A and B are shown apart, each in its own frame.
Chain A
Amino acid sequence: MKIEDLFPGKMGRVELTRVAISLRMPALMRSKPTDTIDPALVPRIEDALKTVRKG
């Protein structure tokens, strides 16, 4: 799975930043849209994305 699949567009970039901060992962924030996400990290990132989308 690529970064742009989970975080499409400009809104996705902002969400990616929120997820990167919540997981304290600077490298994630600096990744390119076409970068592949380490499969072992995908569930953790998906969980964090769900959380930052909630209130």
Chain B
Amino acid sequence: MTRSLPPFEARDHGRALVGGEPLVFHCNFYNYWLQKTMLLDPGLEMEAVVMAAAAESAAQMLTAALPSLDADTPEARERLACDTFAELGFGTLDLTGLTPDGGVVSAPVSHYGSCLRQAVGEPFATPQSLFDAGYAAAAAAFVLGLPAGSFTGEVLTCPSTGPDPVTVRLTRSDAGPRFGPVVHRAHSAEAPPPPFADTHVDESAILAALGTLDFSGNEEGLIPRFGVMLTRHFASFYNRQSFEFVRAMDAFEMRDAAEMLLMDTAYRCAFHTFGGIMTSAEWDAVIKPQCKTQEDWIHGMVACVNALGWGVWRVVDHSENHLRIRIWDDYESTGWLDMYGEAKHPVSYLAAGAVSGIMNLIYNADIASKPTLDLDFYAEAFEADGAFEPEQVTSMAMGAPYTEIVARR
């Protein structure tokens, strides 16, 4: 299987880019809970924000990738758009129904259409494949050589709500992009220190081992790994919707509520993805043999995080009762700086929930005993006395050279 793909670039501070767009790994549980949070209040009209975030991230990536094509033809553009969709774990995209006026296109396999349902275990009331609709709209404009924002997408059918695969009606639009291009400039000038020294864990060996694993979408365009379905996603997609949600809720004096739910979403992500990693065959083969103490599990997991595109994580200090992490170029802070300028409050919600999630998994959920990571166990771990709570101590988005998070009991 040879795909037509834009160049993937590894940058310093743990960043990975495709077509100039920063990529981050996230699982179907995070994607489910984030979207569920976005759509809580229909009056906020976040559905349109999610689709616009998808369309604009995809359009920016595809446009930047154009020089990588050997021949610039509609067929080559279509292949690039569809192959990248599959490579990143979003599923398969079929644009054969596309006409200059729009038409109906489909995603025969869809992460958002099928894998979110897997996370919740029951059908949804509304279609979940908003990302697919946004991506398809961007792809359509790209294939036809039209400006970004020339199409809008509407989900007609979706396996999240019924038996049929994802179909999307594309309609011509003169509205143009909702947010405009994001210039990815924010970057800490400070070099991160080396990994924590007082541990048996060899981070460079773990990163090298993870580098040998294949994280590209399979024939169905999906990435099943560590007991979850991964996506290698656009950081701007997550950032735009999360930050627009926070800003919208701020207007109703409910920013604290929005922030709490974004951290809860991250905590659920940590529970399933980090829990999946720490109970996986890959962990047993590569990382567990290095873990002589319970603390080594922290360092093993942080080493894995450093392969996710979430910036450079460094353990500063820890005990049974706390974990202090500093992050250089956490993708939320760099995203906020690129989109809105310097922030007035910390914005690293994913990182904060993830740091407390690591500690809860190791010290409250006894992840070493390989528990079943289901909802009942989640509730048990979350309700436990001595559960860890995160605090965002410093924020790169607010001008600090790094983001610091402390999780405490």
Q: Which residues of A are in contact with B by a Cβ distance under 8 Å?
A: 9-11, 14, 17-18, 20-22, 24, 26, 29, 52, 54-55
Contacts and interface: CB of A to CB of B under 8 A. Distances in A.
Given A52-B40, A55-B120, A55-B125, 11 more contacts: A9-B383, A11-B379, A17-B260, A18-B40, A20-B254, A21-B41, A21-B254, A21-B261, A26-B252, A26-B253, A26-B254
Tell me if B's interface is mostly helix, strand, loop or mixed: helix
Contacts of B40: 18, 21-22, 52
Q: Classify chain B's interface size.
A: 20 to 34
Contacts of B117: 55
A30 B372 CA distance: 34
Tell me if A's interface is mostly helix, strand, loop or mixed: helix
Contacts of A17: 257, 260-261
A48 to B, nearest CB: 9
B124 A55 contact: yes
A25 B257 CA distance: 11
A14 B259 CA distance: 11
Nearest to B380: A11
A11 to B, nearest CB: 6
Interface of B: 36-37, 40-41, 43, 116-117, 120-125, 160, 249, 252-254, 256-258, 260-261, 264, 379, 382-383, 387
B261 A24 contact: no
A20 B122 contact: no
A21 B382 contact: no
B257 A26 contact: yes
Nearest to A21: B40
